[in-house]
Amino acid sequence: MENAFDLVRAEWGQMCAQPGTVERVHSWLVESGVPVDVDATEGLDGLLRALKRGSVPSDRWLAVLVKRAAAGCELAALVVVVAMVPAALRSVKQLRLRYEVPVDEVAQVVAASLYEMVRRYPLARRPEKIALNIAWDTSKRAARELQSELPSSDLEWIEEYVGSLVDEEDPVRLAEQAQLAEDVVTAGLGELGDLEGARAEMAELLVWALREQVLERAGVETLVTFYREGAPADAVMARQVGVSAAVLRKRRSRAVQQLRAAVPRWRLAQAA
């Protein structure tokens, strides 16, 4: 049985086989001032690979395509959808863990949500972090649809918010990672270690929480110590700061609760 993403791949294959499609997409980009060096014989697959690994920030070429997708262009919408498939599949994995639903059903909901978010993307209001915004909106919409039908399993809150959503080849992600590393050092949170995947999103959230005074430095440092690479056991950490393990856990729990309550503000700040 084919799932929704098998159908996306099939539709992509059919579109790639149609003559003139790569030239159409290439002309849209060139007309909008987006340089892309690709041999037309490599087809749409080659064009998309060139865009994702090139030096042009992804917001520039995604903006060209989502604008056309919003105007009803199915080819433009499909190119963006295929570019976002890695992020969408990560959402499928996360939501499959969260809801007791067959994976094909989750895939169907996520794929439908992805198409909807691409076609409805508010480019004028959110011209930056387009890939991240589409990925996040897709995951939120799919979660709402699944939650309306089935109860959520009891997962740790932290697992819900630190998922890596953006394709690892996205140039915007690389630029944001460099800026995040600078922010982490400036905030004195260097103990978080390598800023990859979930750790990167946690670092961004903690930097924001400290800057916006959502948490005091002591609360942020409690979480940094707990989530850093190779963190010692609670008993060891408690001795290092001169409290009991129970007090340490209470501090950490309070910090997590404060952080959790502030997440909607953080998401709004990201989308602004």
Residue 152: DSSP 8-state: B
pTM of the model: 0.59
- Name residues whose C-beta falls within 8 Å of residue 126's C-beta, 6 or more positions apart in sequence: 133, 271
Out of 33-47, 114-128, 177-191, 210-224, which region has the weakest mean confidence (pLDDT)? 177-191
Q: Give me the residue spans of the domains in the chain.
A: 1-151, 171-271
pLDDT digits (tens, 9 = 90+) for 22-45: 999 999 999 999 888 776 667 888
**What are 251's two structure tokens?**
């501090």
CB 103 within 8 A of CB 37: no
> Which residues lie across from 99 on neighbouring strands?
152
Instruction: Convert the pLDDT of each residue in 223-263 to its tens digit.
Output: 777 766 566 677 777 787 787 888 888 888 888 888 778 77
The alpha helices in 54-122, defined as continuous H runs, are: 58-70, 74-83, 85-98, 103-119
Helices (H) and strands (E) in the chain, counts: 14, 0
Residue 181 above 90 pLDDT? no
pLDDT score of 166: 45
Mean pLDDT value across residues 14-23? 91
In sequence order, what are the beta bridge partners of 152?
99
Tokens describing residue 221: 């440092």
Q: Please report, as a single letter, which amino acid is at residue 192.
A: L
Tokens of 68: 């056309």
Q: Is the pLDDT of residue 162 over 50?
A: no
Residue-wise burial string across 117-148, b where 16 or more C-beta atoms lie within 10 A, e elsewhere: bbbebeeeebeebbbbbbbbbbbebbbebbee
Q: What is the mean pLDDT of residues 186-215?
A: 65
pLDDT of residue 168: 46
The share of the chain scoring above pLDDT 90, in percent, equals 24
State the Cα–Cα distance between residues 51 and 62, nearest whole angstrom. Answer: 10
pLDDT at 147 over 80: no
Contact indicator for 69, 77 with CB cutoff of 8 Å: yes
Residue 89: per-residue pLDDT? 85
Helix (H) or strand (E) holding 25: helix 21-31
3-state secondary structure of 71: coil
Mean pLDDT of 171-189: 54
Given CA atoms 30, 36, 39, 43 in this order, what sign does their dihedral have? negative
Mean pLDDT of 179-184: 55
Query: DSSP string spanning 129-189?
Result: SHHHHHHHHHHHHHHHHHHTTSPBP---HHHHH----S-TT-HHHHHHHHHHHHHHHHTT-
> CA of 166: how far to CAs of 52, 58, 98, 170, in Å?
12, 11, 20, 7
